Structure 1
Amino acid sequence: MPVTSVESDTEALTMTLIADFAVGPDRLWAAFTDPRQLERFWGPPGWPATFDAFDFTVGGHAKYYMTSPQGERAGGAWEFTAIDEPRGFEVIDSFADENGEPLEGMPSMRMVFSFEATPEGSRMTNVSRFDSLEALEQVVAMGAVEGSTLAMNQLDAVLQGLREFAQGKGTRLEVLSDQHVRITRLIDGPRELVWRAHVDPDLMRQWMLGPDGWRMTTHEVDRRVGGGYRIAWAPEPGTEGEPFGFDGEILLLDDPRRMVQTEHMTGTDFPSTVNDLSLYEEDGATLLTLLIEYPDATTRDMVLATGMIDGMEESYRRMERVVMG
């Protein structure tokens, strides 16, 4: 994890985040000044950012919004006040309405991004300066420390490139908090086809099976926001195990980039999870990221102990072999 510290100073009215990376300052500069790269890490997991304006000039503005798993939007705006390529830049950062205009009653802050070389690569220092202690405490209470840490810890995949970051490493699990885990897998194939593999019933039956010896017996999906679904599996003759299935509701669809749905084990009183799937393509390969929100750490650990990750890896291997060809 690249973030090494996040500290608030109530006397100086600042919040300072420091992160270290195994790339040079020029590469960091490129990531923070390209809106398409910013979109991959600026929002924390579950709240990805979309920049719909980015005038990178002194006096220019950037406008963005972050989208929750339920489709809610939270807007933000930057005004660029200083640019010193490739050492850093400064912005006034504001909460914004749907038109990108600063929200009245919400604090603005002056953010300074600095990039410097280190023996191991580079260091990014982000200092946010507030007008009052009340503004600092308000932003911290809204989860800025946790959110900014989770957001910046997504940067490694952006800086290294998908294939260098993930190829050959299989299905990877990261425990982000008591309630959240992130699962990533590089699929050697285009995003459009990976998306189809997740929504086309005929393709799903070919790969979404877990270990060998299982078959999909039910696939009922109302593929729209608010639609319900039910999927079930059963073991083939001679394979041990009991039939099981999941049901839930689709919360968000952004074809072919993102799909969010609840997931509940059919026929049980187990609580539902929220599964947030996103796909990003680079150089003909697709990084699949699944962010799962559990109700608590106990449920998280119980589910992970079932061997879920191993079963997912078997399925993803099958997808590459059968669907990607």
Structure 2
Amino acid sequence: MPVIDFVTDEENLTMTVTAEFAAPVERVWAAYSDPRQLERFWGPPGWPATFTTWEHTPGGKAQYTMSGPRGEKSTGTWEFLAIDAPHRFEVLDAFANEDGTPMEGFPSMRMTFEFTPAGDSTRMSSTTYFDSLEALEQTVAMGAIEGTKMAMAQIDAVLQDLRDYAQGKGTRVELLDDTHVRITRLIDGPRDLVWRAHHDPDLVRQWMLGPDGWEMTECIAATEVGQSYRNSWAPVGDTPGEPFGFEGEVLLFDAPRRAVTTERMQGMPVETLNDLNLYEEDGATLVTVLIEYPDKETRDMILATGMADGMEASYARLESAVLTPER
């Protein structure tokens, strides 16, 4: 976890986060000064950021929008007050409407970012300055501390080459909190093909089978917001087990990058929220699935079924049976 300290100072009206990254100062600076890299970790999981304006010079402006899994939007702006590459920059951060105008009733905040060497790593200190105690308390109450920690936990995948970060490590499961789990798997293939493999029924049937001895008996795809999907499986021959399936609805569909769906086991009321994101680098695609469970008990029950093992078997089949012939 990059964040090593988080301090709110009500007397001086500041909030300071300290983090340490396993990369040199120049590499960390590059991540914070390139909007395509920055947007991969600026928003917390489930709320990825997209920078639509980027004028990286003193007096310049940046605008970004974070998109929630149910279509929610949160827009912010930066005004760059000072830039001293690769050691420090300062911005005026503000909540904004979609057109970039300041949002009434929300505070603007001056933020400084400082980067210093720490052996082979980089120590970052980011301080936010508030105009009033009310503004500080409002920001904390909105989940700034938790959101910042979860957002910055994504930066390791940005600072390393994608293959160095994930290749050969299989399907990884991270417990983010009591109700959120992040699953990642590097697929050796381009994003467009991986996206099609997730949404073309003819391709889905070739790999989304789970452990050996099972077959997919039903695959109804959904590729538009509001559509419903349905997938079913059954054991083959003497393989033990009972047929089962999942179904749900599409909440967000942004090909070939992101799809958010609800998911519930057929005949069961318990529902999860599945947020699929695909990121490509050097011909490989990082598949990230953020799952939101209704409670900790449901999370633990589902993970205990061996879900991750089944996903790994399917992803391995995706690479060998689908992507290799396609290429």
Report TM bin, short chain: over 0.9
Per-residue CA deviations over 1:132-173 (Å, capped at 9, x if unaligned) read 000000000000000011001100000012101000000001
Q: Distance in 2 between matches of 1:80 and 1:152?
A: 21
Q: Distance in 1 between matches of 2:124 and 2:197?
A: 38
- What does residue 181 of structure 1 align with? 181
Partner of 1:292: 291
Distance 1:319 1:222 in 2: 19
CA contact (8 A) 2:199 2:222 kept: no
Matching residue of 2:132: 132
Counterpart Cα distance in 2 of 1:266 and 1:9? 50
Question: Hey, what's the Cα distance between the residues in 1 that align with 2:161 and 2:99?
Answer: 33
Which range is displaced more, 120-129 or 179-188?
A: 120-129
Aligned to 2:13: 13
Determine what percentage of the aligned residue pairs are the same residue: 64
* Structure 1 residues 98-117: aligned runs within 5 Å: 98-117=98-117
- Amino acid in structure 2 at the alignment position of 1:115: F
| Superposition pairs of residues 200-211 of structure 1, within 5 angstroms | 200-211=200-211
Aligned counterpart, 1:215? 215
C-alpha offsets along residues 250-270 of structure 1, whole Å, 9 cap, x if unaligned? 00000000000000000123x
**How far apart, in 2, do the equivalents of 1:321 and 1:245 lie?**
24
Q: Structure 1 unaligned segments of length 5 or more: list them.
A: none
5+ residue gaps, structure 2, are none
The alpha carbon displacement at 1:120 in A equals 3.6
Q: Which amino acid aligns with 1:323?
A: V
Q: Distance in 2 between matches of 1:50 and 1:207?
A: 32
What TM-score, normalized by structure 1, do the two folds share? Answer: 0.99
Please give the alpha-carbon distance, in whole angstroms, between the structure 1 residues aligned to 2:268 and 2:151.
Answer: 35
Structure 1 residue ranges (4+ consecutive) displaced by more than 4 angstroms after TM superposition: none
Deviation at 1:8, TM superposition (A): 0.8
1:11-160 to 2 correspondences below 5 Å: 11-160=11-160
The letter for the 2-side match of 1:162 is: L
The letter of the residue matching 2:27 is: R
Taking the aligned partners of 1:161 and 1:173, their CA distance within structure 2 comes to: 20
1:246 aligns with 2:246: yes
Judge conservation of contact 2:200–2:221 (CA < 8 Å) in 1: no
1:313, CA displacement in angstroms?
Answer: 0.3
> Displacement, 1:223?
2.1
- CA displacement 1:232-291 (0-9 Å, x = unmatched): 00011111110000111100000000000000000123x100000000000000000000
Partner of 1:320: 319
SS in 1 for 2:58: coil
- Give the Cα separation in 1 of the matches to 2:153 and 2:5: 12
CA-atom RMSD in angstroms: 0.7
Query: How much has 1:229 moved relative to structure 2?
Result: 1.1
Amino acid of the structure 2 residue aligned with 1:214: W
> Conserved in 2, the CA contact under 8 Å of 1:77 and 1:96?
yes
Give the secondary structure class of the aligned counterpart of 1:78: strand
**1-structure distance, mates of 2:220, 2:289:** 21
When normalised by structure 2's length, the TM-score is: 0.98
1:104 CA displacement: 1.4
